[in-house]
Amino acid sequence: MKKLFLFAAAAVLGLSNVNAQDSDNGSTALSKGSILVEANTGFGADMYGHSANTGFGLLSVDGTTIWSIGAEGGYFVMDDLAVKVGLGYNDYDGASSFSYKLGAKYYIASQFPVQVDLTGASGDDVYGDESPLWVGLQGGYAWFVADNISIEPGLRYNLSMNEDFTDEGIFEFRIGFALHF
């Protein structure tokens, strides 16, 4: 886990010299027409909990290892409001699944992101006949380390929409890394 944080910090510092904004016309990272590329880490999900992950994750319990990789992208349809999509791949000790996300992210006062989304997963080896689906609610803080790079710690709650799969909600602490173009 320490290596992951060290890698993320090095990536943020290495990219901090990139200036993807057009300062001549006064646009900012959260302006209408801007693009958002985001990767998240999540902490707090249980063994088979929120298995539709569109971020980076690693969990090992009693010899069973679960890992995931994914990313999200968005387009600002108006200042401070982005429409987002995400894709991810998850591996459950040899069984795999794909996940997807569709939602919106709004930056209150251009600094406090709140997000609502619909997240799902599919994978016959993992879920059988079920197609897990969650509604996610997320809030946090956007720390802009450069004009176009933000680190966004936050809290997320995933409400299960499939009682046959699970009726439990999942609470997570997340750290997001976003590039704004």
By CB neighbour count within 10 A (0-12 exposed, 13-18 middle, 19+ buried), where does 22 fall? exposed
User: Residue 84 belongs to what domain range?
Assistant: 29-180
Does residue 5 belong to any structural domain of this protein?
no
Asked if residues 99 and 120 have their Cβ atoms less than 8 Å apart, the reply is yes
pLDDT in tens, 7-16: 444 444 444 3
Would residue 48 count as lying in a domain?
Answer: yes
In a domain, 6, yes or no: no
pLDDT of residue 151: 97
Confidence of residue 67 (pLDDT cuts 50, 70, 90): confident
pTM for the whole thing? 0.77
pLDDT at 85: 97
What's the domain count of the chain? 1
The string of pLDDT tens digits covering residues 83-131 is 999 999 988 877 888 889 999 999 999 999 999 999 888 876 656 666 7
49 within some domain: yes
Q: Are 138 and 114 in contact (CB under 8 A)?
A: yes
The domain that contains 95 carries what CATH number?
Answer: 2.40.160.20
- Kindly state whether residue 156 falls inside one of the protein's structural domains: yes
